[in-house]
Amino acid sequence: MSREADLPRSIRRGPLITIGCECGEQRRLHYGERWTCEKCGRTWNTRRIPLEEYAALRRTQLRYRRVPLLIAALSLACVVVFIVLGRAFAGLIVVAFALTAWSMFVHPFYKRRYREQLAKIPTWKIEPE
Ligand SMILES: [Zn+2]
């Protein structure tokens, strides 16, 4: 684990990588981790995956996560503004309306795009150590 220290934090927290051992065992690992298969003793090192390709994948994931966060922050800001104006009830109605519109019309479309992007996750062929 200590060998992960030289990797950027963002990479270490990236999407899990599924390693399929030649004997059929599977394990999900973070980038930078090594795994010795319990069944056959082969050792797999996720660092054999090109870092730049993995980083591109991580960037896609982060880009898609930013939007819902942004929407949540905007909704909150909206409520605060209406509360400051003394119109808390009106503010709640506006936000409730916006969130409903988001979940009914935008979110399904957005989710599909996200899944399509992640479905493009490349498969790497790495050799055991
Ligand atoms: Zn194995």
The model's pLDDT over 58-117, given as tens digits with 9 standing for 90+, comes to 998 888 888 888 888 988 898 889 889 988 888 888 888 888 888 888 888 888 888 887
* Helical pair 51-84 and 107-119, crossing angle rounded to 10 deg: 170
CA 64 to ligand 1 center in whole angstroms:
34
Of 8-12, 20-24, 48-52, the range with the lowest mean pLDDT is: 8-12
CA 125 to ligand 1 center in whole angstroms:
15
CA 20 to ligand 1 center in whole angstroms:
8
Higher-confidence residue of 10 and 36: namely 36
CA 113 to ligand 1 center in whole angstroms:
35
pLDDT in tens, 13-42: 888 999 999 999 999 999 999 999 999 999
Token look-up 């503004």 returns 81
Q: Where are the domains of the chain?
A: 1-49, 61-124
CA 24 to ligand 1 center in whole angstroms:
6
CA 19 to ligand 1 center in whole angstroms:
10
CA 29 to ligand 1 center in whole angstroms:
15
Token look-up 């990797």 returns 7
Note the pLDDT of residue 4.
53
Q: What is the value of pTM for the model shown?
A: 0.66
CA 129 to ligand 1 center in whole angstroms:
12
